[in-house]
Amino acid sequence: MNAEDRAFHWDGPADGETASEVRRAIQGWATRAGLPTDLAEGLTLAGYEAMANAVEHAYAGTEQGPLSVRVTRDDDSIVMRVADQGRWRSATKDELRGRGLLLMEGLAKELAVDRSEHGTTVEMRWSLPEVQPIGLPSVSRGIGPGDEGVEDRLRGLEAITDTALNRLTVEEMTLEMLVRVREVLGADTSTVLVYDAASEHLIATASVGIEEEVRQGIRIPFGQGFAGTVAAEHRPMVVDHVDNTTVLNPLLWEAGLHTLLGVPMTAGGHTVGVLHVGSRKQRTFSENDIGLLELAADRLALAIRAQVSYAERAAAEALQRSLIPGRLPVLPGFEFAARYVPSAVSGVGGDWYDVFALPGDRIGIVIGDVSGHGLASAVVMGRLRSALRAYALDNDAPNIVLDKLDRKAHHFEAGVMATVAYGVIDLAEHRLRFCLAGHLPPLLAVPGRASEFVDAPPDPPIGFDLRARQRRCHTVDIPPGASVCFYTDGLIERRDRSLDGGMDALMRIVSPGGAEATCATLMARFVGAQSLPDDVAVLVAHRRGDETLSFDQV
Amino acid sequence: VTNADNRASVAIRQLADAIVVTASGEIDMTTAPAFEDAVRKSLDEHPAKLVIDLTEARFFSSAGIAVLVLAHRSTPAVDLRVVAREQVVLRPLQLTGLTDDLAIHASVESALAG
């Protein structure tokens, strides 16, 4: 239900331990995204096999190289791309590799392996299970001959779904729907629980008959108890003796309920919550009853999801605005400029930049990208941003700061991944010392030279707490008139162009110049009038040229 | 044998006429070497029957499959039986055609019987 469920990406070193970590992260993503178990397992195994190939074959006998994993999801499919920059050994009789490919072929709907001298990319595609169309057909299966009154009951629900509800707020509509559902099903209670992906709990948000549920803020863990099981298994369920063995929520058995019928609320393949009705006397629920409840659940799910998306988007935008620095430091020798543009598709995401003064004539500069989009990513971004500032104040070395950030993220934000570049500019020495956590390298533009990427291999992204080896710092001198340009992958990655292509273009376009002018050029050339698929952040640090300085000195 | 961060464990149990190798947790390229080691050691004992119990495996990649293939090379001298119940193990076995070649049982008891 969150936009963050739409994408997963990771960049880092190709080694076995890392592949296992990334595999677990993919599994976590797939589960949070509400994918069916077999699809989640297939995706995880296929992705792992692709990574294993890169680890075992791409860099065989050479130094470890980078690995990139991208999973994107749209309404009807999931695409996974695993790319390395090595060359797979050509031994075709290699049994192990053969089996890995066999697995990928069997697991994915489509598989393409693209080998070039620049590396190997495995692209796999899965179809998402079809989403039930909303409307009458989904319930008509429940209507059989001899079931008198069903048509009338259906019309009762239909009336409410089609006309009155459109004028109501989501809260009013939910209550109205619960009243009507209780009435047409002859039940004593009806309740909606909405799924909160962040806490993995279902939260009672509206109820008719046991209003205390809502007032007491009842929370049911996903996968547990009655409602939790309905949500996890995505199917209607009936409990015909309500007690502490079948139902977690004591209010339900204290209310004297005997029989419960619950159906999942899903929209666009995402878990939205659970709708259930209860009866104080023993009764059976027919197929028709289940069908009616599902119809109501479908309608509610759509409305709730739309409302949640809208509210989250607005909150995420407000949060992002409050966190992006309004004004960058103005210094005699250096100038800074930056841009942040949300995605046209998924709104604001987890990209951020930051520039702050540090003790001792130093400036800290940060650019980062928390995986995912929407409110959840923006909230995590805010916490990482604050934590990084705090660590930066107490630790001079950028690699130590990122180590601490990694530990913090791993411990307190399970499942979160972020790429971050953090650097410290020494204003007296005109030197930048920085560390890359899975982030793309900065571009250095020096007058009289071709622009080039700083040769700085990335260390693992934030969130894995891999302490296999020390993170590395890189140092680069910033001559007069030079610019250092940091960016997130949203700037250069496009559907119709590879990351490498984007980086080549970046190298050609950026020339030494004022920070504002460089930002403007980048946005004009890379973004222009396009609708961005991903959010974009750019941060440019520019050392003013000698001309003014020498003029002063004369 | 438990690997450093408890992601997988491998145990060998010697019975009168069989050896049971139990591989639990996540069997991938980092944990498969310990699994392979246990299987090789067990084969060196030339047991009449080798039971590989994967009931508690939560992830099973081609690295684990390679170990099963290795064990299968010792048949028919060794009566090899594999215990697996969950899709997370059965699916990779099916996709690589091993379900046809391996004797797969739903429990260790049934694998030990007969």
CB contact under 8 A, A19 and B29: yes
Q: Tell me the per-residue pLDDT of A210-265, one tens digit each, with 9 for 90 and over.
A: 887 788 888 899 988 899 999 998 889 998 888 888 888 888 888 888 899 999 99
| Chain A neighbors of B94, CB-CB under 8 A | 106
Q: Determine which of A85-94, A257-266, A292-301, B79-88 has the lowest per-residue pLDDT on average.
A: A85-94
| Chain A neighbors of B62, CB-CB under 8 A | 49, 52, 96, 99-100, 102-103
- Cα A225 to Cα A229, A244, A344, A517, distances in angstroms: 6, 9, 39, 59
pLDDT score recorded for residue A405:
95
pLDDT score recorded for residue A291:
86
Is it the case that residue A143 has pLDDT exceeding 90? no
CB contact under 8 A, B30 and A20: yes
Establish if A36 touches chain B: CB-CB under 8 angstroms: no
How confident is the model over A521-533, as a mean pLDDT?
82
What's the whole-number average pLDDT of chain A? 82
pLDDT score recorded for residue A119:
81
pLDDT score recorded for residue A156:
61
- In chain B, residues 72-91 whose CB comes closer than 8 Å to chain A: 87-88, 91
Residue A14 is encoded by which pair of tokens? 């190709």
Amino acid sitting at position A172: E
SS3 label, residue A439: coil
pLDDT score recorded for residue A15:
83
Bigger pLDDT: A508 or A551? A508
| CA dist., res. A198 & res. B59, Å (int) | 25
User: CA nearest A14: which of A71, A58, A70?
Assistant: A58
A69 with A22: CB under 8 angstroms? Answer: yes
How confident is the model over A175-186, as a mean pLDDT?
88
Is it the case that residue A161 has pLDDT exceeding 80? no
| Chain B neighbors of A52, CB-CB under 8 A | 28-29, 61-63
pLDDT score recorded for residue A150:
59
A1 with A267: CB under 8 angstroms? Answer: yes
| CA dist., res. A344 & res. A494, Å (int) | 13
B8 with B27: CB under 8 angstroms? Answer: yes
Mutate to test the interface with A, among B61, B94, B96 (most CBs of A within 10 A): B61
User: b/e per residue, A148-176, with b = 16+ CB within 10 A?
Assistant: eebeebbeebbebbeeebeeeebeebbbb
Q: Determine which of A154-168, A325-339, A407-421 has the lowest per-residue pLDDT on average.
A: A154-168
Establish if B95 touches chain A: CB-CB under 8 angstroms: yes
Bigger pLDDT: A117 or A437? A437
User: What is the percentage of chain A residues whose pLDDT exceeds 70?
Assistant: 86
| CA dist., res. A98 & res. A104, Å (int) | 10
| CA dist., res. A103 & res. A288, Å (int) | 42
A330 with A354: CB under 8 angstroms? Answer: no
Bigger pLDDT: A94 or B85? B85
pLDDT score recorded for residue A133:
31
B96 with B62: CB under 8 angstroms? Answer: yes
Is it the case that residue A138 has pLDDT exceeding 50? no
Quick one: pLDDT band at residue B42, thresholds 50, 70, 90? very high
Is it the case that residue A421 has pLDDT exceeding 90? yes
Min Cα–Cα distance to chain A from B77, Å: 23
CB contact under 8 A, A56 and B65: no
| CA dist., res. B40 & res. B30, Å (int) | 17
Establish if A99 touches chain B: CB-CB under 8 angstroms: yes
- Cα B44 to Cα B36, B38, B74, distances in angstroms: 12, 10, 10
Q: Is the pTM of this model over 0.80?
A: no
**Edge-to-edge strand ranges of the sheet holding A189-196:** A219-221, A201-208, A189-196, A270-279, A259-267, A237-239
A541 with A476: CB under 8 angstroms? Answer: no
Quick one: pLDDT band at residue A550, thresholds 50, 70, 90? very low
Is it the case that residue A323 has pLDDT exceeding 50? yes
Residue A15 is encoded by which pair of tokens? 């080694």
Q: Which residues contact A431 (CB under 8 A, 6 or more apart)?
A: A425, A475, A476, A477, A478
B61 with B92: CB under 8 angstroms? Answer: yes
DSSP letter for A347, please.
Answer: B
Bigger pLDDT: B83 or A314? B83
B47 with B72: CB under 8 angstroms? Answer: no
Is it the case that residue A144 has pLDDT exceeding 80? no
Is it the case that residue A121 has pLDDT exceeding 50? yes
Min Cα–Cα distance to chain A from B109, Å: 28
Q: Tell me the per-residue pLDDT of A56-111, one tens digit each, with 9 for 90 and over.
A: 777 665 666 788 898 988 778 899 999 988 766 544 444 445 688 888 988 998 88
pLDDT score recorded for residue B55:
94
Is it the case that residue A207 has pLDDT exceeding 60? yes
Nearest 10 degrees: Cα torsion A125, A129, A134, A135: 130
- Cα A261 to Cα A79, A235, A279, distances in angstroms: 36, 11, 9
pLDDT score recorded for residue A168:
65
- Cα A14 to Cα A54, A90, B31, B87, distances in angstroms: 7, 19, 17, 28
How confident is the model over A355-360, as a mean pLDDT?
94
Looking at the DSSP assignment, which residues form a beta bridge with residue A423? A365, A434
pLDDT score recorded for residue A87:
67
| CA dist., res. A487 & res. A458, Å (int) | 14
Bigger pLDDT: A142 or A306? A306
A46 with A81: CB under 8 angstroms? Answer: no
| Chain B neighbors of A23, CB-CB under 8 A | 28, 59
Q: Which helix (H) or strand (E) segment is A226 a member of?
A: helix A225-233
Cα-only R_g, chain B: 13
| CA dist., res. A414 & res. A44, Å (int) | 18
